[in-house]
Amino acid sequence: MIYVFFFTIVSLILWGVFLTTGYLCYLVRHSNHGQTKYKVNPRTEPVSLCCVMGSGGHTMEMLELLKNLGKQYTPRWYIIADTDHISADKVKEFESSREDGAFNICTIPRSREVGQSFITAVPTTLYSFLFALRIVWNASPDLLLVNGPGSCIPVVFAAALFDMVRLRDTVIIYEESLCRVETLSLSGKFFS
């Protein structure tokens, strides 16, 4: 019995060291030390863009952001919760008005349904994370743009994981939803 307790404590300590080391590596990789790695000149080669769309106004806010993007942002990957059919329709309508580039719509299981407890959201978010890993790997985005739906949490973690282990180089931009004027959303609190 004492051995089980001992090995449990040792494994928890090792996991803590592993996660702390990974986080520090991520911070060092993304610290510029006063220098910028991006050129001042506008980028001319294509930028693979991945956006997480969400219900409840998140999709409309994201489409307003995307409206002014140039032609170099192609291909565009849209990640939508599998139960959100309205956002998929809005994306198709938006893309039909554009003349440039290809787009893909991918679905992932919803991380957390409205009203679902946070305890039961952990396994559903992990399940969604597995789908996000595959989508982020296939999309290989240069830029991940999110604005706060709960579905963005597993996608951001998938992109950050691939970036941390140097398999992908993705810039993640989080813009808080415009309707949040007094407090941050749950995902905003999570990422801040």
- To which residue do tokens 């060092």 refer? 28
What average pLDDT is seen over the chain? 81
> What pLDDT shows up at residue 189?
64
Annotated domain spans of the chain: 1-29, 46-191
Q: What is the pLDDT of residues 40-77, one digit of tens each?
A: 556 678 889 999 998 877 888 888 888 888 888 889 99
Q: What is the 3-state secondary structure (H, E, C) of 54-83?
A: CCCCHHHHHHHHHCCCCCCCCCEEEEEECC
Residues contacting 143, CB < 8 A, separation 6+ = 47, 48, 49, 50, 73, 170, 171, 173
Q: What is the pLDDT of residues 101-156, one digit of tens each?
A: 689 999 999 887 777 777 887 888 889 999 999 999 999 999 999 887 778 889 99
CA dihedral 166, 154, 73, 29 (to 10 degrees): -30
The verdict on pTM exceeding 0.85 is: no
CATH class, domain 46-191, is alpha beta
User: Smallest Cα–Cα separation from 158: which of 184, 128, 122?
Assistant: 128
